[in-house]
Structure 1
Amino acid sequence: MGVLTVISTFASLSLIANGALVRVADFGTNPTSLQMNINVPSKLAAKPAIILALHGCGGTGEQYAQMTKYNTLSEQKGFITIFPSTKKDNNCWEVNTAKGLSRDAGGDNQGLASMIKYTISKYTADATKVFVTGTSSGCMMTNVMMATYPDLFAAASCYSGVAAGCLAGSPGASPQSADPACANGQKVKTAAEWGVIVKAMYPGYNGSYPRLATWHGTSDTFVHYKNLAEMLKEWSGLMGVEFTKNATDVPQSGYTQMVYGDGTKLVAYSAKGVGHTVPVHEADDLVWFGL
């Protein structure tokens, strides 16, 4: 047995000992063959909350679990985490196709919704405390989940992504394979135009949309900073809130919090000098989620 194999085996055993991710094979409708990885903490809360955490392009759910602190916080607070994986288009989420931008139409989003429904049922989780977050492509899918399954989620957080529908019709879901206009911040629309796009993803829906806290770096050249403005136009219009104020050095030096309305539905964080991607702020996410 080689040294790398020993290290890998030890790491795997450590993960198991720490109650980390477990693969779920059959969680319901899964049209794009996603992998479901779940972490159920040793001290599970009564009617636990759920966080669906979505990796970026080239990543996996297992890697995103190790990169972030959600599982550690889960052990402290008793919520369940789901770290799914997609294996197509450079492991980028399907945020560009007609089926992927529709409800129950056979896209990645339908499989992700199945994971949520399975977890609520199996663990008697609190359906009013389901949250979604993600980085880069995961942030893009977070926006799509908000648009196509708004009734499943109470709130969302999002790091360095684009508005729901920005990549619609693109030949690929990743910045490398997609029409670069979206990633370069050249898909500029009004709030009303974005609203029409989102409404078309779930026709007839008249309910509220999940609360959103979104983060973007001013020096992001991979998914251009201009995309933050488009995302804010999209959701401020749908939520019926307008920009209110900026708060400098929140939550840390060099970050500016952009508040919409009374700050309970939509906030953004502009990270000065930060590229792709903004580091995940798990503690701030939990405050936003009310956990």
Structure 2
Amino acid sequence: MSCPKVQTTRAFANGDLVRVADFGVNPTKLEINIWVPSKLATKPAIILALHGCGGTGEEYAQRTKYNTLADTKGFINIFPSTKNDNNCWEVNTVKGLSHEAGGDNQGLTNMIKYTIQKYDADPAKVFVTGTSSGCMMTNVMMATYPDVFAAASCYSGVPAGCLAGSPGASPQTADPACANGEKIKTSEEWGKQVRAMYPAYNGTYPRLATWHGTSDTLVTYPNLAEQLKEWSGLLHVCFTKNVTDTPQSGYTQLVYGDGAKLVGYSAQGVGHTVLVHEAEDLKWFGL
């Protein structure tokens, strides 16, 4: 007798990542790779993990531990790829810094919508993280789709809007002023710029934990302070204290308010980029 084919939760392709051909409107021709654990949690959480310039979703999946953690905890990971502008995310254009305007951010959001529907995921447990250009894009996703994400973490990036008007978003094409830490604004100025990206929105913004190395010469250290200024105003929290040697020796945690909405991590002597602290990210996400 012939037995019916067993349908497993995970399809095996692309190094255990599932490549999805059609996830909805995709104006900038991004690629999507999804990691679905064999033991999927009920109403699973989703982490959108964004690679740096020159990288790919597959590469970022391999060099981070999010998939191993997903197999333990039952959440879903999305590792997208961009092949535009030296594989750097669109954080400089008007459409890329707007809501539903045809940028990378719209395609990324449609990946999330697809995953929620396909796997009955929890729309209240969607998170975004990334490194370098991925951190820059994390800030942009928070600004342009704040209602999609509960929280974010990112490594060695810049504030949302820092590269606005730049001819490109990669080290080869961008106006260097942003990466060099020369875009200095007040909290109010950053907040006004963010709110203009989605002017119809009047809700709360996602929680953020952002990390930066003091010896970063590619995306320089002042960008940590600018990110914290940007989001402290939008999240309505003020700096309260530093906690040294947290979460490890040489790292200082910068706490805003009670630490529930905004924290920074200053990594003494670390260059570009700060290593991903996946376990800390999961704590921040509540996973």
1:66 alignment counterpart: 62
- Structure 1 residue aligned with 2:135, among 139, 151, 154? 139
Superposition pairs of residues 82-121 of structure 1, within 5 angstroms: 82-121=78-117
Tell me the distance in 1 between the aligned counterparts of 2:172 and 2:29. Answer: 23
Q: How does 1:272-287 map to 2 (within 5 A)?
A: 272-287=268-283
CA distance in 2, matches of 1:272, 1:177: 29
Q: Which runs of 4+ in 1 moved over 6 A?
A: none
User: Residue 181 in 1 paired to residue 177 in 2?
Assistant: yes
Size of the alignment, in residue pairs? Answer: 277
Q: Deviations over 1:39-70 (max 9, x none)?
A: 00000000000000000000000000000000
Residue 236 of structure 1, aligned match among 222, 232, 235? 232
- Kindly, what percent of the aligned residue pairs are identical? 81
1:8 paired residue number? none
Residue number in structure 1 paired with 2:39 = 43
For residues 71 and 228 of structure 1, the distance between their equivalents in structure 2, rounded to whole angstroms, comes to 27
Taking a change above 3 Å as real, the CA distance of residues 17 and 165 of structure 1, as seen in their structure-2 partners, is closer
Q: Distance in 2 between the 1:263 and 1:101 partners?
A: 28
Of 25, 29, 32, 1:33 maps to 29
SS at match of 1:152: coil
Match of 1:24 in 2: 20
Instruction: Give the letter aligned to residue 38 of structure 2.
Output: S
SS at 2:196's partner residue?
helix
Q: Aligned runs of 1:263-278 on 2, under 5 Å?
A: 263-278=259-274
CA–CA distance in structure 2, aligned partners of residues 270 and 130 of structure 1: 26
1:251 pairs with 247, 253, 263, which one? 247
* Pairing 1:195–2:204 present: no
Partner of 1:209: 205
Amino acid at match of 1:173: A
Structure 1 residues without counterparts, runs of 5 or longer: 1-14
Matched letter for residue 150 of structure 2: A
One-letter identity of the residue aligned with 2:42: A
In the alignment, is the contact (CA less than 8 A) between 1:158 and 1:215 conserved in 2?
Answer: yes
Partner of residue 288 from structure 1, selected from 280, 284, 287: 284
Q: Per-residue deviation at 1:19?
A: 7.5
TM-score (norm 1): 0.94
More helix by share: 1
CA RMSD of aligned residues (A): 1.2
The one-letter code matched in structure 2 to 1:45 is A
Task: Report if aligned partners of 1:20, 1:71 keep a CA contact under 8 Å in 2.
Answer: no
Give the Cα–Cα distance (whole angstroms) in 1 for the partners of residues 64 and 141 of structure 2.
21
Paired with 1:230 and 1:128, the residues of 2 have a C-alpha distance of: 28
Q: What TM-score do you get using the length of structure 2 for normalisation?
A: 0.95
**2:13 and 2:19 in contact (8 A); partners too:** no
Corresponding residue of 1:225:
221
The separation in 1 between residues aligned to 2:130 and 2:111, in whole angstroms, is 16
Q: Secondary structure at the match of 1:201?
A: coil
> Structure 2 counterpart of 1:42, which letter?
S
